[in-house]
Chains A and B, each alone.
Chain A
């Protein structure tokens, strides 16, 4: 139940900078995710919060207490590892009770607490089992119970579900969220899986190359990415590089025309762009519609392209449309998606409104 603050945290290993000037402010009881590709510094940041790694620069606060000088065993945290964390020579009871027994709690209190935890994770009756006798999912649930038993003030998760298969992952992530909500603990979760992050977080920190690229809710980072990396890493996107050739104020909103290769795109402008500015234009595949003659008029942009490479993915269909020299990926869902099948090589009319613009140097 602690507020966690990171102030100017940097970590260097020799000549490599793993984490660079990271600032975070996480509220009490909040569930945040550090999301990013391998090597972006998210695990290193998490381990610095835990105290397993010492920051080269910067300060970490739990509430108002500076925790930098404290080793992990004095920070009152719970850390759930990806794998290999349940002590193999102890049974489930001893594993869960470990945190309390090293503090010298008496046996009855420990036994009662272990029973409480087993009920919380739904594994009553598994007291005497050894970790090697449990499935991957059960092991992670016991690991969860083990960290909750000591009543920590911050929960830290280092890709706890990566080693499990898809279905188990989908189920367990909601278990984790459930337990976090029930116990009101501040949780910091590290993953490279977007759908996991989107399913359970209150806020997401998108990280790349040691820096935080953007912080926000799922809606924020999906609908309004602020950097090129976030626009391309989150979901999929068509990226076009271009230059502003015209700007206008009409009907209370600014619009700009962007010339990208042979294409001229009309976009809403929230950045205050001027003619001559270099920008990147991002168009999400699901925002491009296939037009028939009836519904054409209200799209800001309407182009014609040739259909190439149709892929039926099940609930969605995506294809590439060659519009003059540019390839645009289009994604269709619902009943509409079936209409494009077998139309490879056909000319279609496409319409889209939503374009995200990001300044380019």
Chain B
């Protein structure tokens, strides 16, 4: 089309002209992203495919045979994992909420140092944490041989992941809501349960999500703390043990794939309902 050099200025932007280099840049950008996605997703696809097979043959019988293990001998492991996760998350919340509230609503000396201290377990390697926990348990002669040792270990390890979203949520909450409730005659407890907690619900959900993902998939600290104690093997630890002793079995892959699916579903549901706002500041986002 001929361009008129006397054309009047319009409010629409000039139409793009297809230059050779522009087109290729776009294609390369998209190709790169797709390539990265494939690289990242490849292990999961391989795992899932392996869990559908027996002797390299995919058939419905094989699928049922493999996954029946999940509901059979692996069932206890999954239940233990979910129990430990639930208990650790509850303990996390009960300790994090008062801490977050104090950090946000009050001033006291050494606040910054305290915050760094509380986030410590995020930056400490898992083996160091595990070693330290075992020493603590031996020293105190407590928690040995019961599920509470594992729960406590998980709580210590994921505490900052519950604390940070709660701090973000409380910072975002204008103090005038609590003040209004107090002036209307509500007690501190009523103010917290009826006003503060409902309004930071999304922050709590974010903390729960982060803690769950880490605890559910954790095996290294678990190995230290639990060892071979009976009845305390989580699903993660079971997979680790099986791979170490029996190699790459299809049934093991089925358990791993189940764990994978559970994690995916939880994260997808969370992002669908709440979004990424409260995950900023934690190392996962």
A contact residues vs B (CB 8 Å cutoff): 50, 52, 71-73, 76-79, 81, 83-85, 87-89, 98-99, 102-103, 146-147, 150
Question: Which of B180, B184, B190, B194: most chain A Cβ within 10 A?
Answer: B184
Q: Contacts A88-B199, A102-B187, A102-B190: A72 and B182 contacting too (C-beta < 8 A)?
A: yes
Closest CB-CB distance, B43 to chain A, in whole Å?
42
Whether B183 and A98, one on each chain, are in contact in the complex, defined by CB atoms closer than 8 angstroms, is no
Whether B184 and A150, one on each chain, are in contact in the complex, defined by CB atoms closer than 8 angstroms, is yes
Q: Contacts A52-B179, A79-B179: A84 and B174 contacting too (C-beta < 8 A)?
A: yes
Q: Which of B179, B184, B186 contacts A146 (CB 8 A)?
A: B184
> In the assembly, what is the distance between CA of A146 and CA of B180, in Å?
10
Q: Which of B176, B186, B187, B199 contacts A98 (CB 8 A)?
A: B186
Q: Contacts A83-B176, A85-B176: A73 and B182 contacting too (C-beta < 8 A)?
A: yes
> In the assembly, what is the distance between CA of A54 and CA of B156, in Å?
37
Closest CB-CB distance, A69 to chain B, in whole Å?
15
> In the assembly, what is the distance between CA of A76 and CA of B183, in Å?
8
Whether B180 and A85, one on each chain, are in contact in the complex, defined by CB atoms closer than 8 angstroms, is yes
* Interface flags, B148-188, vs A, CB<8A=1, else 0: 00000000000000000000000000101101111111110
Q: What DSSP secondary structure best describes chain A's contact surface?
A: loop
> In the assembly, what is the distance between CA of A52 and CA of B177, in Å?
13
- B99 at interface (Cβ–Cβ under 8 A)? no
Residues of A within 8 A of B231 (CB): none
Closest CB-CB distance, A341 to chain B, in whole Å?
42
Whether B176 and A99, one on each chain, are in contact in the complex, defined by CB atoms closer than 8 angstroms, is no
- B275 at interface (Cβ–Cβ under 8 A)? no
> In the assembly, what is the distance between CA of A76 and CA of B184, in Å?
8
Residues of A within 8 A of B190 (CB): 102
Whether A98 and B181, one on each chain, are in contact in the complex, defined by CB atoms closer than 8 angstroms, is yes
Closest CB-CB distance, A342 to chain B, in whole Å?
42
Question: Which of A71, A78, A85: most chain B Cβ within 10 A?
Answer: A85
Q: Which of B174, B183, B186, B195 contacts A79 (CB 8 A)?
A: B183
Question: Which of A76, A81, A150: most chain B Cβ within 10 A?
Answer: A81
Whether B179 and A72, one on each chain, are in contact in the complex, defined by CB atoms closer than 8 angstroms, is yes
Closest CB-CB distance, B174 to chain A, in whole Å?
4
Closest CB-CB distance, A260 to chain B, in whole Å?
48
Question: Which of B174, B177, B187, B198: most chain A Cβ within 10 A?
Answer: B177
> In the assembly, what is the distance between CA of A181 and CA of B46, in Å?
77
> In the assembly, what is the distance between CA of A81 and CA of B199, in Å?
19
> In the assembly, what is the distance between CA of A83 and CA of B174, in Å?
10
Whether B185 and A81, one on each chain, are in contact in the complex, defined by CB atoms closer than 8 angstroms, is no
> In the assembly, what is the distance between CA of A72 and CA of B176, in Å?
13
Residues of A within 8 A of B184 (CB): 73, 78, 98-99, 102, 146-147, 150
Residues of B within 8 A of A79 (CB): 179-180, 183
Going nearest first, the 3 A-B pairs with the smallest beta carbon separation are: A99-B184, A79-B183, A102-B186
> In the assembly, what is the distance between CA of A127 and CA of B284, in Å?
42
Residues of B within 8 A of A77 (CB): 183
- In the assembled complex, 24 residue pairs joining A and B whose CB atoms fall closer than 8 Å, in A order, are A52-B179, A72-B179, A73-B182, A73-B184, A73-B185, A76-B185, A78-B184, A79-B180, A79-B183, A81-B179, A81-B180, A83-B176, A84-B176, A84-B177, A85-B176, A85-B177, A87-B177, A87-B181, A88-B199, A89-B198, A89-B199, A98-B184, A98-B186, A99-B185
